[in-house]
């Protein structure tokens, strides 16, 4: 037989595009349209419906950036259409290639009932099936003119990312407002031909099945009269019946399709717009569930559900019904799909507490899975947090974006720092916006790395980010792929059903130990420094507010601010979303975030101050309150008393220029350039700084990644570096016992103060940068005279080790990594810690000197200056605090990391304040002391082993205790753990390395 394959395939493409698809709507009449442009921010639905509108015609430009326009379309269904299916087709100016990244609409009936969303791939509104003829049509569309931030030339700087700079030029052209007949036979023919054509293209050319499909398609095309597509569509469909009925082979890969619409809680749009994106999508999906009995839709992020409940009660009513029917599924059990690298221990725990509690309270549903398809890598401490929240599965997609190494599994058990293992799945379809195209399904089959051990994967299916979710076309394709020869089989299932089946099929999958590092988007650890500092400060203020309010409530009857703390926690958790905290959102988002963090700080400081004053009482005794989990300066953790004597620090001029600082524990030499060329540990008689490589060295790099400007830093940034060694001044600090350095570079200025706190073994580096650079990367370097092949990096509820070498491509790819409060490097008998109060990104490298010694250089990342999506990223004044701690053990690193983030608070009172709870083991760190969320008055204490060793510790409560329960993160007693014995308020616990434990103490 002659090979005419390419001829038939080309014929299929043209006939579909030019004849069959246009025949889906064979008849149409225009609707009359009118519009009202709302001034300012979006208005309530009732106001939009009642507004005075003006006529508008197709072809009219509309929509200032971030504006809202209320369109009204009216008309009469022609009598001649009686008995047919009729839809309104409303094109607001969509580009079908950009679902989710442009204008959108939500359709209402005149009474305010939401109908469905309008999106680039979802422009229809059903009027009747069938119609009687003569019906009046009246619809209202709340249309958002969200500008295109990332267009066909991505990463181009634009002022459109903030309403304050976006201007008022119309963004869109009204393209179609018609009433049209839907020919469902033609619509199904389109789907038949798409499914078969896409499947055919993925099969081997020499596969008999490919040629069976080709001949069936050819016969169907022969059956179509191109001048009467609608009259011959059924005849064409009949030619495809047999080829569509051929069943899949028994060994076919199985795909669980989950209806999905990944909606970033803020990214290229502000938070307020996400509220509307979620409402549009939820309206779409509840309507689709009504039409498609086998379809299942899952939505994550409790915050987004809460927005629907608060802002769109009519949509919420439909959502609640669909949840009760088991088809609109709460997924993930987190408040938002957060970043997991940078949130602190308690914050990561509270993501699950508030997320799971919302779904339990609203629906009685508890999620078994963490659902994080788009998060930029996963911290090594996360598995035990998932388990402690009562969940046992994790789904993500993003690791498939890694640029250097291909992750070796799609289904595996992920082991965290404490040994907890979580059953984890990466969908091999490699997208969280699957549209059921044949190429996607075939890629999932080919890509699946666990063949032989398993043959089941998940496909999150639907347009996200305001694209409207799953479409009826995707559902129709899935129906044809349910059991089709040559394809994987596709079934709509819930996440829970998938995980249960996948685990049963592959009960002993491979194990991956340690962080799931994304080899991409490394600059998200540094971009938008103010947002990151706001998060860090908020986390520690929340710790203090809970600690002091709980202590005051038990001791004095102070009113514990349950509602305020709940609200503030949810606000902080929202801002940990994986584009806000990582710094990859538009300027509007970060401008609002800075204001939000300032407001939160004021409110939390108010709570702390009120609680501490209640505890201190009236008096003139100077008190120091210690909110850190370790004693300091004679003040116990969680208590207050007068501070003890701490010694003194001296400063003297250095011959030839520079200064010497000495507090008896450390001697620090600062040269005339303001660089630190010696930090001598007096007790160990050991030099910290590598010879010939001064510390406190600011280094500036060019930083223009190949793409993803705010997200990425590419390895070639290291090829060029400028050491900032010229100083404008190096002078004594204001206290006479510190050194102040000022430098200028480019259009920026930096001021630093180097100090040695009396009685403390740390060099504190306070850095203020007035930053006005573009596409630059600023780092602060500490070259250490220390030989270490690995270093410890703090993560949630512990730390883990990364290598300092680059033996393999896996290690080389981690050229920028995340830490929380500390990094620690150690030789067997001596170590160094670098601690910070608000930075995350860093790198550690090592070289061998000519003298044979090893220089290990720690560099903390301070600032970047990408121009997309925020062209003014990080411009302005920033303040950082770091400390170098020579002679530090891992325990010292833990303690110093807490101290730099929780400064002492001072006020006067009547007498000392004893801690509410104490722990007698330094390695057992209390991360939360609070009252139980249920208002019972029980005291909840959360702690973990922080040194990576086994620990036996006694927790002592300074109040009568009737009972103690070991609980999960939601403060529910663990069924398989008996209550520990209590002896006069003392509870003894034994902990594995890094084990996380929550105790609930019932007050007697």
Over 907-932, what HEC string results? EEECCCECCCEEECCCCEEEEEEEEC
> From the centroid of its chain, how far is CA 76?
47
Residue 457, classified by CB atoms within 10 Å of its CB into exposed (0-12), middle (13-18) or buried (19+), is buried
How many Å apart are CA 275 and CA 315, to the nearest integer?
12
Give the DSSP H or E segment for 502. helix 495-505
Tokens of 445: 């089959």
Residue 428: which of 453, 402, 397, 405 has the closest Cα? Answer: 397
Residue 367, classified by CB atoms within 10 Å of its CB into exposed (0-12), middle (13-18) or buried (19+), is buried
Tokens of 666: 């450390």
Task: Answer whether 237's CB lies under 8 Å from 188's CB.
Answer: yes
Residue 787: which of 849, 856, 692, 889 has the closest Cα? Answer: 856
> Known catalytic residues?
374
Q: Output the CA angle 270-274-277, nearest 5 degrees.
A: 135
Kindly report the backbone phi and psi dihedral angles of residue 944, in degrees, each rounded to the nearest multiple of 5, phi listed first: -150, 160
How many Å apart are CA 882 and CA 781, to the nearest integer?
11
Tokens of 681: 């540990």
Which DSSP category does 695 fall into?
B
Task: Answer whether 395's CB lies under 8 Å from 389's CB.
Answer: no
Task: Answer whether 933's CB lies under 8 Å from 566's CB.
Answer: yes
Tokens of 327: 């088809």
- DSSP codes joined into one string, 431-445: -SSB---HHHHHHHH
> From the centroid of its chain, how far is CA 75?
45
Tokens of 873: 């990223």
Query: What does DSSP say about strands 114-118 and 254-259: parallel, antiparallel, or unpaired?
Result: unpaired
Q: Which residues contact 240 (CB under 8 A, 6 or more apart)?
A: 192, 193, 196, 216, 217, 220
Residue 20: which of 185, 175, 245 has the closest Cα? Answer: 185
Which single residue is written with the structure tokens 């006529």? Answer: 55
């Amino acid at each position: 037989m002659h090979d005419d394959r390419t001829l038939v395939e080309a014929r299929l493409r043209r006939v579909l595009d030019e004849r069959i698809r246009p025949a889906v709507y064979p008849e149409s009449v225009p609707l009359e349209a009118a519009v009202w442009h709302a001034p300012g921010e979006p208005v309530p639905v009732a106001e939009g419906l009642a507004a005075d509108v003006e006529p508008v015609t197709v072809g009219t430009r509309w929509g200032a950036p971030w504006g809202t326009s209320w369109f009204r379309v009216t008309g009469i269904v022609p009598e001649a259409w009686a008995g047919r299916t009729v839809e309104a087709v409303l094109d607001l100016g969509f580009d079908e290639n950009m679902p989710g990244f442009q204008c959108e609409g939500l359709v209402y009936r005149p009474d305010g009932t939401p109908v469905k969303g309008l999106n680039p791939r979802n422009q229809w509104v059903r009027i009747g099936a069938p119609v009687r003829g003569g019906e009046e049509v009246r619809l209202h569309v709340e249309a958002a003119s969200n500008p295109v931030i990332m267009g066909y030339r991505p990463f181009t700087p634009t002022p459109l990312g903030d309403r304050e700079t976006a201007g008022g030029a119309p963004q869109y052209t009204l393209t179609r407002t018609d009433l049209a007949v839907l020919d469902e036979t033609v619509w199904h023919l389109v789907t038949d031909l798409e499914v078969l054509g896409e499947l055919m293209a993925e099969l081997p050319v020499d596969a008999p099945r490919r040629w069976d499909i080709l001949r069936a398609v050819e016969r169907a095309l022969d059956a179509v009269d191109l001048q009467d597509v609608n009259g011959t569509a059924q005849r064409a469909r009949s030619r495809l019946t047999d080829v569509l009925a051929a069943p899949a082979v028994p060994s076919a890969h199985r795909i669980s399709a989950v209806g999905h619409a990944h909606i970033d809680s803020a990214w290229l749009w502000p938070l307020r717009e996400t509220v509307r994106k979620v409402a549009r999508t939820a309206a779409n999906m509840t309507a689709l569930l009504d039409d498609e009995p086998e379809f299942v839709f899952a939505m994550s992020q409790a915050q987004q559900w809460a927005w629907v409940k608060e802002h769109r009660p009519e949509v919420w009513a439909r959502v609640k019904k669909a949840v009760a029917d088991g088809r609109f599924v709460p997924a993930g059990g987190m408040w938002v799909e957060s970043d997991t690298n940078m949130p602190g221990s308690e914050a990561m725990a509270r993501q699950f507490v508030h997320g799971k509690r919302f779904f339990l309270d609203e629906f009685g549903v508890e999620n078994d899975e963490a659902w994080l398809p788009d998060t930029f890598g996963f911290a090594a401490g996360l598995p035990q947090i998932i388990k402690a929240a009562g969940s046992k599965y994790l789904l993500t997609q993003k690791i498939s974006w890694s640029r250097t190494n291909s992750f070796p599994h799609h289904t595996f058990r992920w082991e965290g720092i404490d040994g907890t293992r979580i059953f984890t799945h990466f969908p091999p379809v490699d997208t969280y916006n699957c549209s059921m195209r044949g190429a996607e399904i075939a890629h999932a089959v080919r890509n699946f790395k666990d063949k032989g051990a398993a043959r089941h994967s998940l496909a999150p299916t639907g347009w996200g980010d305001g694209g409207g979710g799953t479409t009826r076309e995707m559902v129709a394709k899935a129906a044809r792929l349910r059991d089709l020869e040559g394809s994987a089989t596709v079934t709509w299932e819930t996440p829970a059903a998938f995980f249960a089946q996948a685990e049963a099929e592959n009960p002993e999958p491979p194990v991956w130990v340690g962080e799931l590092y994304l080899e991409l988007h490394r600059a998200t650890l540094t971009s938008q420094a103010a947002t990151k500092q706001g998060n860090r400060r908020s986390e520690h203020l929340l710790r203090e507010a809970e600690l002091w309010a709980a202590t005051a409530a038990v001791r004095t009857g102070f009113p514990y601010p349950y509602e305020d703390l709940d609200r503030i926690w949810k606000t902080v958790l929202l801002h940990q979303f994986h584009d806000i905290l990582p710094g990859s959102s538009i300027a509007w988002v970060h401008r609002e975030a800075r204001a939000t963090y300032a407001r939160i700080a004021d409110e939390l400081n108010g709570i702390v101050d009120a609680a501490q004053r209640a505890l201190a009482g009236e008096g003139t005794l100077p008190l120091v309150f210690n909110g850190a989990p370790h004693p300091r300066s004679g003040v116990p953790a969680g208590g207050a008393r007068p501070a003890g004597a701490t010694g003194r620090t001296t400063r003297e001029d250095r011959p030839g220029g520079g200064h010497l600082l000495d507090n008896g524990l450390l001697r620090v030499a600062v040269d005339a350039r303001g660089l630190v060329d010696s930090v001598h540990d007096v007790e160990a008689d050991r030099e910290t700084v590598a010879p010939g490589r001064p510390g406190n060295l600011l280094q500036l790099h060019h930083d223009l990644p190949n793409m993803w400007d705010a997200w990425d830093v590419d390895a070639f940034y290291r090829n060029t570096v400028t050491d900032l060694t010229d100083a404008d001044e190096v002078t004594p600090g204001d206290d006479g016992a510190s050194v102040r350095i000022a430098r200028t570079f480019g259009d920026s200025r930096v001021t630093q103060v180097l100090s040695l706190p009396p009685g403390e073994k740390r060099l504190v580096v306070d850095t203020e940068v007035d930053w006005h650079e573009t596409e630059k990367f600023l780092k602060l370097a500490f070259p250490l005279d220390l030989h270490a092949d690995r270093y410890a990096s703090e993560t949630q509820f512990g730390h883990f080790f990364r290598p300092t070498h680059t033996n393999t491509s896996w290690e080389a790819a981690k050229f920028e990594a995340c830490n929380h409060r500390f990094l620690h490097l150690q030789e067997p008998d001596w170590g160094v810690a670098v601690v910070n109060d608000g930075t995350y990104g860093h790198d550690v490298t090592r070289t061998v000197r000519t003298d044979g010694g090893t220089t290990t250089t720690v560099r903390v990342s301070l600032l970047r200056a990408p121009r997309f999506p925020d062209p003014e990223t990080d411009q302005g004044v920033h303040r950082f605090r770091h400390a170098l701690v020579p002679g530090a053990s891992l325990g010292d690193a833990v303690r110093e990391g807490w101290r730099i983030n929780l400064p002492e608070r001072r006020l006067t009172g009547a007498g000392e304040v004893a801690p509410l709870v104490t722990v007698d083991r330094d390695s057992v760190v209390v991360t939360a002391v609070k009252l139980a969320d249920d208002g019972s008055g029980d005291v909840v204490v959360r702690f973990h082993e922080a040194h990576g060793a086994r620990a036996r510790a006694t927790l002592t409560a300074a109040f009568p205790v009737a009972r103690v329960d070991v609980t999960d993160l939601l403060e529910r007693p663990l069924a398989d753990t008996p209550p520990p014995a209590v002896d006069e308020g003392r509870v003894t616990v034994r902990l594995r390395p890094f084990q996380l434990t929550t105790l609930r103490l019932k007050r007697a």
